[in-house]
Structure 1
Amino acid sequence: MDTKGTGRSSAWLLATWGVTRVVLLLFVFRVYAFPGPDVTSDVSVIYRGWYEALRQGTFPLDDVTWQYPPAAALAILSPAVLPFLSYAHAFFVLACVADLVVLALLRYAGRGPGRSSRGAWVWVAGVPLLGPTVYARYDVMVTAVAVAALLAGVRHPRAMGALTALGALLKVWPALLLVGAVRRRAWAAAATTAAGVALLFTVTMPGAFAFLTFQRDRGTEVESLGALVFHVARHFGWDGQVLLNYGSIEFLGPWVAQVSTAALVLTGAAFGWLLLWRLRAGRPAPYVLADAALTAVLLFTVTSRVISPQYLVWLVGLAAVCLSHRASRMGAPAVLILLASFVTVLEFPLGFSHVVLSDWYGITLLALRNGLLVAATVTAARRLWRATVAPAGAAPFPPQATRAEETPVSS
């Protein structure tokens, strides 16, 4: 075993993480100004306002921008553990800590037979590509929970279920991690944890599930796939508007409701495909748990009425987990996600004014970013299907020898 080579690789990994994260912290602490709109205002203004309401033992019921499940309160309240810092500075530090936790988990998961350090490198490289927005949203904290859940899933299905439920109560999307889970214990643990935590919030804090109404009333956000229709339509006389609505910049006007409905239909179709895959896949190899999770979240993201820049943090984290398995088929989707992350920072915050104006530069950036995400989604879905669903009369892929590289899930 080449311990010297492994040590050098770890040193480079940590050094790269350290340098890039110091740069991110310098931007969010406003030591240096990142071009474009100030991405930290969500923390210093919106999150801080929610913090004050949550401290009083109630959710911010009079604020329609509160569109998150009840456990999100834990993330918003978390800066209280660092009382010697301002709210915003404490939040940024905790976001960086969550980033480091993900790196530690991926580095540990990358050791052993059938594992790879590629996953850790995907995380180290992917996060700074998104710019300071990563530390100015609580999505990196949710991603840390999701990564822990997936890495626990192979050997500890109950732990995976509990962590998945916690993640879903932080920001819904981690519920999709269970798509590839075949053990009833994972589902049972998720259901039990979700019910218990939800009941606790319902009893102790009014308005725990008011976010469902706020989410239902959202329109088509300017960065979503469906928004491209209206960006182009504005050049041909469409008389709608671009306004701040429900906490994001959205299109309002003729045909917006129809496009939003079409997005919901596409999401439904995506879930139908996932159900069909689950019924046809049988008992997949352990690495498929992460591959299926990435595919599911990609499908959810590209069909959503909203594609905020921080959504890419989820995809980078899940892609990193996939690539910590040598047998994973998600190499090409991971590269596409990294490219989309770089284009995302060009679109927001650097070129966001062009996106809002629907000029051709903004449309090009948005089309390129969303096109990369669609390509990643189609590629991931195709590879997942081909790797797990056998043609009629054939044995499923991969063969048993490949499956043996990873520790099987116990019954």
Structure 2
Amino acid sequence: MIGRIGFWTAFVVVHAVLAWICLGLPGSGIGEYAIGLPLGDVSLVYRPWIEQALSGGPVVGITQEWVYPIAAILPMIAAMGFGPDLYAPAWLALITLLNAAGFAVLLGTRPSRRREIAAWWWLAFTALLGPIAVARIDAVTVPIAVVALLLMARHPSVAGVLLAVATWMKVWPAALIAALLVSSRSRGAVLLAGVATSAAIGLLVGVLGGGEHLFGFVSAQTGRGLQIESPVATPYLWLVSAQVPGSYIYYDREILTFQVTGPGTEAVIGLMTPLLALAVAGTVLTGVLAVKRGASVLRLFPSLALALVLVLIAFNKVGSPQFQTWLIAPVIVGLVYRGRAFAWPAGIALALASLTQLLYPYLYGGLLSATPAMVCVLSVRNAGLFVLLAWALADVFGAGADQSSPRAASSRSTLPVSSPE
């Protein structure tokens, strides 16, 4: 009982501190001393979208193109339940409730040692990542994905529905679906549930008159430039830092983000989407080969899911600090089902979270000014993503090598109902 009280006390403290930072850090300063606004997207972007829709104006994703998949509008509308003046606190309360639900499912009634470690890791990662962990639409999808993966063993159809809904809010959970389709024999239930959920969402959007904009988020992403935090933008930031002519940071008012330009950026922008597709295909193929060599889902799925999520981050021309939250679900399932084997990726992820909080919000002005110190921090963080990706791919590649034992054979087709101690 004391242990459970300790978990929930820590949960409340972490989320209360992050809420306090979000509400009390207004974003200030000039140049390299400027501080980012944690709730900027929530208060200055999400709320105006919903106010516009509720006042009879255009509805994003329905009557006009939108940068997000259509289901992202649901939590944005929910946060308006207490009115526009309380939109930001309501958003934070919504994220806290969703995280609490995911945390409760993770702990269960009698948590194993592995689940306890995963719960502490989740709290540590959230605290180290800082306010951005709760201040973007990505924060809604994370607990949904965590719950889906934890329910996968008993309820694959429910997991498929949850992952489909999360994907229609932010695309990244598609990586988890792909990992399940490769590694689990419950793939049929997951696929059927996901397709049915997606069809229902598409039908509803069509009835509301937004069919032509259903996949508008795809074209919105492919047309974007190099966002400054993305790994591919890092060399250009060094050019800006060195004041190389033609290299500079600018604010894209259509996408509402900071991007970088320099020699050859147009060619790089054109290459990144096919390169991302090739990286995803190569990672999936590596997982398929591991399955053919006899890899069990218990051995393969966590590292394959982590690898695919990292590919979406590392080979993306878009890069935002909240992308680090995508690591939470695959690392948690890795800690739950593989224990100490996932200690290294869990530790690296914590380091990445810490570096990301340095970058945003506290020292964001230094990054926008391309000061060498902050570009160096970003370079280390982005290099860490590739180190973690290399670990995950190596683990996927070797997943079929140790599957000859009876215990491995027994776990080959499905995730265990409860995690081993």
- TM-score tier after normalising by the smaller chain length: 0.7 to 0.9
Query: Which of residues 218, 243, 259 is equivalent to 2:250?
Result: 243
How far off its partner does 1:409 sit?
A: 5.3
Which ranges in structure 1 are unaligned for 5 or more consecutive residues?
1-6, 391-395
Provide closer, same or farther for how the CA distance between residues 285 and 154 of structure 1 changes in structure 2, counting only shifts above 3 A.
farther
Q: Does the Cα contact within 8 Å between 2:236 and 2:261 map onto a contact in 1?
A: no
How far off its partner does 1:110 sit?
A: 7.8
How far off its partner does 1:385 sit?
A: 1.9
How far off its partner does 1:315 sit?
A: 0.8
Q: Does the Cα contact within 8 Å between 2:106 and 2:115 map onto a contact in 1?
A: no
Q: Does the Cα contact within 8 Å between 1:59 and 1:208 map onto a contact in 2?
A: no
Query: Which of residues 195, 198, 201 is equivalent to 2:205?
Result: 201
The within-5 A match list for 1:148-297 is: 148-181=147-180, 182=184, 183-206=187-210, 207-234=213-240, 235=242, 237-245=244-252, 246-282=255-291, 284-287=295-298, 288-297=300-309
Query: What is residue 15 of structure 2 aligned with on the other side?
Result: 21
Query: What is residue 3 of structure 1 aligned with on the other side?
Result: none
How far off its partner does 1:202 sit?
A: 2.7
Provide closer, same or farther for how the CA distance between residues 28 and 318 of structure 1 changes in structure 2, counting only shifts above 3 A.
same
Query: What is residue 111 of structure 2 aligned with on the other side?
Result: 111
One-letter amino acid of the structure 2 residue matched with residue 107 of structure 1? L
One-letter amino acid of the structure 1 residue matched with residue 160 of structure 2? G
Percent pairwise identity: 25
How far off its partner does 1:222 sit?
A: 0.5
Which ranges in structure 2 are unaligned for 5 or more consecutive residues?
29-33, 417-421
| Deviation per residue, 1:145-203 (Å, 9 max, x gap) | 11122112222221121111111101111111122323212112111211221221132
1:332 aligns with 2:344: yes
Q: Does the Cα contact within 8 Å between 1:165 and 1:193 map onto a contact in 2?
A: yes
Instruction: Write the distance in 2 (CA, Å) between the matches of 1:122 and 1:64.
Output: 40
User: What TM-score, normalized by structure 2, do the two folds share?
Assistant: 0.86
The residue matched to 2:70 in structure 1 has which SS?
A: coil
Query: What is residue 350 of structure 1 aligned with on the other side?
Result: 362
Query: What is residue 135 of structure 1 aligned with on the other side?
Result: 134
Q: Does the Cα contact within 8 Å between 1:166 and 1:193 map onto a contact in 2?
A: yes
Instruction: Write the distance in 2 (CA, Å) between the matches of 1:302 and 1:284.
Output: 26
Greater Cα offset, 227-236 or 186-195: 227-236
One-letter amino acid of the structure 1 residue matched with residue 328 of structure 2? V
1:307 aligns with 2:319: yes
Provide closer, same or farther for how the CA distance between residues 289 and 72 of structure 1 changes in structure 2, counting only shifts above 3 A.
same
Instruction: Write the distance in 2 (CA, Å) between the matches of 1:63 and 1:227.
Output: 33
User: What TM-score, normalized by structure 1, do the two folds share?
Assistant: 0.88
Q: Does the Cα contact within 8 Å between 1:98 and 1:141 map onto a contact in 2?
A: yes
Structure number with greater CO (CA < 8 Å, separation at least 6) is 2
Instruction: Write the distance in 2 (CA, Å) between the matches of 1:217 and 1:347.
Output: 25
Greater Cα offset, 60-69 or 102-111: 60-69
Query: What is residue 46 of structure 1 aligned with on the other side?
Result: 45
One-letter amino acid of the structure 1 residue matched with residue 94 of structure 2? L
The residue matched to 2:260 in structure 1 has which SS?
A: strand
Instruction: Write the distance in 1 (CA, Å) between the matches of 2:414 and 2:220.
Output: 42
How many matched pairs?
397
Instruction: Write the distance in 1 (CA, Å) between the matches of 2:196 and 2:409.
Output: 31
Instruction: Write the distance in 2 (CA, Å) between the matches of 1:10 and 1:402.
Output: 32
